[in-house]
Structure 1
Amino acid sequence: MTPEAKGRVERLWNTMQDRLPGELRLLGVSDITAANEVLPKLIARHNRKFAVNPAEGEDVYVKPEGKVDLDFLFARRESRRTDHGGMISYGGRRYVPAADDCLGMAKTTVEVRETSTGRIWGVSKGRRIEMKEVESQKRVNSDEASAKKRKSGLVKAHKPAPDHPWRHGVVKRQGYHSTCRDKRTFA
């Protein structure tokens, strides 16, 4: 649609919003059913007064080549970045390419399309890639995990060796205090 045509449409809506209530009031219309009866006459009168024939009479519509997947074309679109395995996160769920030949999508930007039927597609480098949802692993709370390990007897307390430096406390050397590592102070 050209800017000129957009302007004409906007002017038409302004005209309708400005004139239509007044015209309906003059005709004594006060409800929807009466307005629906009068409206075709008002539109015909408006078109007789303001209609303009197009400068070029030929049709400019071009038929698409082949079948167009309207569900894919009118899908909701967002950009995502894949991780090192080609996985994306979208809508609180995780998706990977359904086909094995699309596994080389590591660290790339993908346009995610969610169709009206709920299917998720990825578009990368002009290729249309069907995505499948993968179940995310349930995270285990660290307190729960350590409690399970303790119950099973897998966790043993670690004791440092008798000659381990941590067992010796602060050592004073001749002319050097070992706890001051950044600023060497001499006694």
Structure 2
Amino acid sequence: MTLYREKYGDYGPTLAAECLAAEDGVSVPVETLRGWLLAAGLWQRQRRRRVHRRRRLRKEQFGEMVQMDGSVHPWFEGRRGEAVLMVLIDDATGRVYARFYERETVWAAWDSMRGWIKRYGVPRSLYVDRHSIYRSDAEPTAEQLLSGEEPLTQFGRSMQELGVRLIRARSPQAKGRVERMNRTLQDRLVKALRRAGVSDLGEANRFLEEEFLPAFNKQFAVSAAVEGDLHRPLEAGYDLDRVFSVQERRVVQNDWTVRWGNRFLQLERSSMGQVRPGDTVTVCEQGDGRIRVFTGEVELA
């Protein structure tokens, strides 16, 4: 009990028992520790929340659907400023990938999605909330109205290019699996970061990738109901940097320039055989600041 008071005073019995065994070599059954803590007044039984709706059944196969959410929380308990944890969880297995960012932005969403694809491949569908990253408030064009399509955000467009069905939840409860995972991580990950003395994002992401997530997935991920993996591998040479970029259509001016933000991009002479003034091109700005110009699938020099 002295060790518990010194190191694990705000831990529940389950997590405390795990840490005592793994880090201190002290093996105590969870129920025994729970009884000790109750008797000493160091822990109270948690009242279960009343269930108001039935939980949706898991998807059957790995990669059938991934849920993604950004969780803003004092992850570092004052050792640094607030950060957002982008969390992705496979619906069938509960396998988790997560990464820290300063803010929840489209770049954070793309980077975390890239991390998932790098490890597992492209999932069939992605379940997200109605954040402006994923939901466009723009009025549909006449062409979109006629075709039954809706305006897309930059992230939505990228998922369409990847062949990923983007599903937007209408309430936090609808994406309950990732919401419950957020609460779990706000307990277990916060305490793990504290024990490891982690206080900056770079170190935290290394800790996540190399230590915390491998152990967490080994302990909590489950087998899918149906064997097999529905993730699709990317073809060799697939230009994911272009897909995960801010893209806009622009018209080539008479002086062979294209306006982008507050500046003009000068097209090289070698491009003059592929486009003419008045033609429309696609300008892509990547996360590293690089700007590329395309006509169809051809990149202009």
TM-score (norm 1): 0.44
Structure ID, larger Rg: 1
